[in-house]
Chains A and B, each alone.
Chain A
Amino acid sequence: MTVGAQPQATPGAFSGTARRADFPVFERTTSTGNRLVYLDAAASAPKPAVVIEAMRDAYSHHYANVHRGIYELSEDATGRFEAARRKVAAFLNAPSEREIVFVRNATEAINLVAYSWGRTNLRAGDTVVTTQLEHHANIVPWQQLTREVGAELRYVAITDDGRLDLEDLDRLLATRPKLVAVAAVSNALGTINPVREITQRAHAAGALVLVDAAQAAPHMPIDVQDIGCDFLAISGHKMLGPSGIGVLWARRELLEAMPPFLTGGNMIIRVTMEGAEWNEVPQKFEAGTPAIVEAIGLGAAIDYLTDIGMPNVREHERYLFQHAWAALGEIPDVRRFGPDDPDIHAGVISFVLDAVHPHDMATILDHHGVAVRAGHHCAQPVMQRYDIPATTRASFYVYNDLDDVEALADAVRAAVTLFAG
């Protein structure tokens, strides 16, 4: 399947080109006179007008503090904030909205677990298992935690084609770790990890499982009950929502047993000068005034995605992945990372060319209007695995289509030509 071969629409796919009208940023033309080809959803996604409008409306007509005021406006704001929590619960198929903790982003969600669950349950000599393909957000909190309590952090190795080595996982599980922390999708390689199977193996070995779904939840159906995991982290800004809002989902009995992470207002029932009693979950973990309007914006983003249908989003990106993977593969000397198999490769493609450094590539693509990420993608152990300083990464979303894939391939070819002299 190549770009030039008049691709057939795949079942369930939709027009990314038509979706662009939903996103005000695509009204922009670049300083070089090109239309904006945005291929950096994996870093952060543009916002559809419905999200921006929901936030403008909340600030304009429905804003007061939540869970406080005995007056209509505050009750209105609280109702909208809590409705957003229910939308998140439904989006993740969580058994209860009480299991939805609003945080700033996936990084904070993981830190919450490391600080609260980790420092309560981990002892010297215990083991935490993460993997070599994680974002730094799912590495550094565990490094800090294990260092602090004298535990050990082990990494599941990755194969040459960017999959987790499940035999290595089994070897590490034999050491009876307390926790396995794994990404559902690698932000640097695009690999879709078998988190359901990993969870089953980890549970059989007595470990809890944290899934970093920051890169997965925006792009494919996520069902925490089907995965069976214990904790799951997402970021709003990667799924068409605002920055500053993310979610930790955790099984209720875990949240009930965990001590608070941040303390202060809202998270207490009663404070005396001698001490305090914690509020029920999830408020126990939401100290201070939350990101009220950001949560409402996230709810609007979930409505937008649910309206498209997450299976359709996945199908659309699978389709774009296949075309982009093939188109880049046709360019001599392009080295692509991650699995060939579109069933286990999300809409994220990392690639390098010996002749053109990723930074130069990104600059040249930018001059063609194509916005990509170049660098280590906050996943330096992945770069070390393949002995490269950086990659160029293109990532797709609902507003992308085959014209973007062609723009990417054309601009990469232009870079190759320029550097070949």
Chain B
Amino acid sequence: MDNLYRDFILEHYRNPHNQGVLDPHDLHFADSNPTCGDELSMTLRLDGGRVEIEDVAFEGRGCAISQASASILTDTLRGMTLDAVRAIDPKAVLDDLGVPIGPARLKCALLGYKVLQGAVAGESVEWPAEAEAV
């Protein structure tokens, strides 16, 4: 427990970065985790050429893992090209949490990633293989 709920995670949960809704925005997507009903929505603003991300914000209600993961992920997005976003490795998202995620919580940890990919794709995307326990 001390591992999973390190101060780093709890700090992001209590004071999430990039919280809110961007108005105006270029991309918007919302999705939920069917196992717990956690909801997360994300808005993104792009540069003039619609190549890279200028700004990002997310809103949601959910567990510490899903909210902290979205907070940490969105911190990395400014200046990133959409192609680079599409190429984000879900394993890296899990690694960035810095704590081991048990099989029952993988979808919590990857909800932000799934919403981000949905926003870029303009439609719901499937859970990555990393969200399924092996």
Interface residues of A (CB under 8 A from B): 32, 357-360, 363-364, 367-368, 374-376, 380, 383, 389-390, 418-419, 421
Contacts and interface: CB of A to CB of B under 8 A. Distances in A.
Contacts of A368: 1
A418 B10 contact: yes
A389 B102 CA distance: 21
B20 interface: no
Given A360-B5, A360-B64, A363-B1, A390 B36 contact: yes
B31 interface: no
Contacts of B104: 363
Interface of B: 1, 4-5, 7, 10, 14, 35-39, 61-66, 102, 104-105, 108
What 8 A-B pairs have minimum CB-CB distances, sorted nearest first? A367-B1, A389-B37, A357-B63, A359-B63, A360-B63, A360-B64, A359-B36, A390-B36
B63 A383 contact: no
18 contacts: A357-B36, A357-B38, A358-B63, A359-B65, A359-B66, A359-B108, A360-B65, A363-B4, A367-B1, A367-B4, A375-B35, A375-B36, A375-B37, A376-B36, A383-B37, A389-B62, A390-B36, A418-B1
B105 A359 contact: yes
A359 B10 CA distance: 14
Contacts of B62: 357, 359, 389
Contacts of B102: 363
A418 B5 contact: yes
Contacts of A389: 36-39, 61-62
A414 to B, nearest CB: 8
B18 to A, nearest CB: 19
A359 B5 contact: no
Contacts of A375: 35-37
A421 B4 contact: no
A319 B63 CA distance: 32
Contacts of B7: 421
